[in-house]
Amino acid sequence: QVQLVESGGGLVQPGGSLRLSCAASGSYFGSSTVGWYRQVPGKQRESVAIITSGGMTDYIESVKGRFTISRDNAKNTVYLQMNSLKPEDTAVYYCNCGHWWGQGTQVTVSS
């Protein structure tokens, strides 16, 4: 019903920026809350940012002011703009819609 494909991850220097994209297929996407999650080996997957169908957003405290989640429902895409990246942002980032998950994209912040 819903297929999510992340892209945009990679290696970036501390202080740099990346924009992650989550391209979706399925009729539920545009009317659903979508979230970006991240996971580091040995740790629980944590919610980073969410955006509702109406465009309301929320963020984990550690990324407030640095990350921005947005959506373009016409393109069935959700974005995560990540600025001022820190080494502790290193993780596999996943997008989520309901019980649907993308495959993840690796973000590595390192000098």
SS (H, E, C) the chain: CCEEEEECCEEECCCCCEEEEEEEECCCHHHCCEEEEEECCCCCCEEEEEECCCCCEEECHHHCCCEEEEEEHHHCEEEEEECCCCHHHCEEEEEEECCEECCCEEEEECC
Q: What is the pLDDT along the chain (111 residues), one digit of tens a residue?
A: 789 999 999 999 999 999 999 999 877 788 899 999 999 999 999 999 999 999 999 999 999 999 999 999 889 999 999 999 999 999 999 999 999 999 999 999 999
